[in-house]
Amino acid sequence: MNAGITTYNSEDFRKEYFNASPELEKLFEKSVEDFFCLRIEDVIERVYKPILPSREESHTLIFVTYGSYKTKIGFKEYTVLPNHIVIYQAGAVFSTEQISKEVKGYTCHFHPDILIGKFGNRSLISDFEFLNVGTHPIVRVKQASMLAIQNVFERLCVEFKSDQRPNPIIVHSYLYSLLAEVKILFGKDNLPGQSASSQITSQFKKLAHENVKKNLKVSDFAELMNISPNHLNKSIKLVTSKTASEIYDEIKLIEIKFLLYQSKLSISEISYAMGYLDPSYFARFFKNHTSMSPSDFRELIEKS
């Protein structure tokens, strides 16, 4: 499944599958943190070849209001019908042979880091289960939610297409509104039954969020869940293509970025708060996963 599958950032994906356009490039030049929101009809003619099995570092939500198309996410093929939202989770393998030019709606693309933001909420991020690889990626938009969701997509489109650089606070606020609306749609009655591996993965992620500052080992989580470390890793790998340690590291990074973004704690204080007694080891951990030091990340935030 993994052989030959490329993981793209937004720019590289656009270069690979979209015809170049001065108008489109001008829009993306002023974008913020790998974000865009556009009407499908504004971009569909730019896609000049089938999208081969790929991964992206960002999430994409597509809301179809007219027409339909087929897409493959993970091992399953889905038909996206009118009044449905499909979620291409960051890290999920997906492909699409063709989208009819008659399809209308919206596409919203954003990097997970946007959700951290100045007013980000840790508990809400962990509650957006549908953004996790391996969860059911399609939900029907009920009539009662239609206008609210369409208005949020429209507002994000307006912000992206404005003459100025998109305002991060506005983008962040409306994204949270959109995801909160989608979370409501993913009520218990709307979710297909989860496989045993998916249930284990969800339980692990919940525990990982709850114990993010304790620096636990995979064996500690396995003990809490009354399963073997090997079974835990196999289940998570089957659902996410990642190990339990990789998932835990990602959750820790989100917490660290929150502290760097929203608190006035020093780097050393954040290190201790996250369970690292050696600040230099903490800094290496952060740099190995983000290619920048904690202080560089904080400086980048302050400039944005």
Query: Domain of 88: which CATH number?
Result: 2.60.120.280
How far is C-alpha 209 from the geometric centre of its chain's CA atoms? 16
How far is C-alpha 122 from the geometric centre of its chain's CA atoms? 14
Same domain membership, residue 219 and residue 114: no
Same domain membership, residue 80 and residue 225: no
The Cα–Cα gap between 163 and 88 comes to 28
Same domain membership, residue 118 and residue 200: no
Output the pLDDT for position 226.
Answer: 93
What element of type H or E holds 115? none
Q: For residue 250, is it within any domain?
A: yes
pLDDT category, 298, cuts 50, 70, 90?
confident
Q: For residue 11, is it within any domain?
A: yes
Same domain membership, residue 268 and residue 175: no
* CB within 8 Å of 43: residues ≥ 6 apart: 18, 24, 107
Give Cα separations from 275 to 177, 256, 263, 270, 281 (angstroms).
Answer: 33, 11, 17, 9, 11
The Cα–Cα gap between 79 and 25 comes to 30
The Cα–Cα gap between 235 and 196 comes to 8
Torsion sign across C-alpha atoms 59, 107, 145, 170: positive
Q: For residue 231, is it within any domain?
A: yes
pLDDT digits (tens, 9 = 90+) for 155-175: 999 999 888 888 888 888 899
Number of domains the chain contains: 2
Picking from 190, 216, 237, the residue at the C-terminal end of a domain is 190
Q: For residue 59, is it within any domain?
A: yes
pLDDT category, 1, cuts 50, 70, 90?
very low
Same domain membership, residue 120 and residue 91: yes
Report the Cα–Cα distance between both ends of the chain, in Å, rounded: 38
Same domain membership, residue 152 and residue 133: yes
| Range picked from 46-50, 100-104, 154-158 for highest mean pLDDT | 154-158
Higher-confidence residue: 300 or 174?
174
Max intra-chain CA distance, the chain: 58
Output the pLDDT for position 301.
Answer: 73
Same domain membership, residue 208 and residue 108: no
Q: Which residues of 231-257 are buried (b: 16+ CB within 10 A; e: fewer)?
A: ebbbbbbebbbbebeebbbbbbbbbbb
The Cα–Cα gap between 304 and 302 comes to 6
The Cα–Cα gap between 287 and 304 comes to 20
Q: For residue 22, is it within any domain?
A: yes
Residue 181 in tokens: 């609306």
Give the 3-state DSSP-derived string for 40-70, with helices as H, strands as E and coil as C.
HHHHHHHECCCEEEEEECCEEEEEEEECCEE
Same domain membership, residue 208 and residue 70: no
The Cα–Cα gap between 158 and 118 comes to 21
Output the pLDDT for position 135.
Answer: 82
Output the pLDDT for position 188.
Answer: 55
Burial of 94 (0-12, 13-18, 19+ CB in 10 A): buried
pLDDT digits (tens, 9 = 90+) for 84-94: 999 999 888 89
Give the global pTM.
Answer: 0.79
pLDDT digits (tens, 9 = 90+) for 220-240: 999 999 999 999 999 998 888
Same domain membership, residue 176 and residue 203: no
268: CATH: 1.10.10.60
Same domain membership, residue 277 and residue 133: no
Identity of the amino acid at 7:
T
Picking from 122, 156, 190, the residue at the C-terminal end of a domain is 190
Q: For residue 89, is it within any domain?
A: yes
Taking residues 95-108, what's their average pLDDT?
Answer: 90
- H-type helices in 117-243, by residue range? 122-127, 143-161, 168-185, 196-210, 218-225, 229-240
Domain range for residue 124? 6-190
pLDDT digits (tens, 9 = 90+) for 267-289: 999 999 999 889 999 999 999 99
Output the pLDDT for position 145.
Answer: 93
Q: For residue 1, is it within any domain?
A: no
Q: For residue 149, is it within any domain?
A: yes
Same domain membership, residue 229 and residue 112: no
Q: Is the pLDDT of residue 2 over 50?
A: no
Same domain membership, residue 208 and residue 97: no
Picking from 190, 224, 240, the residue at the C-terminal end of a domain is 190
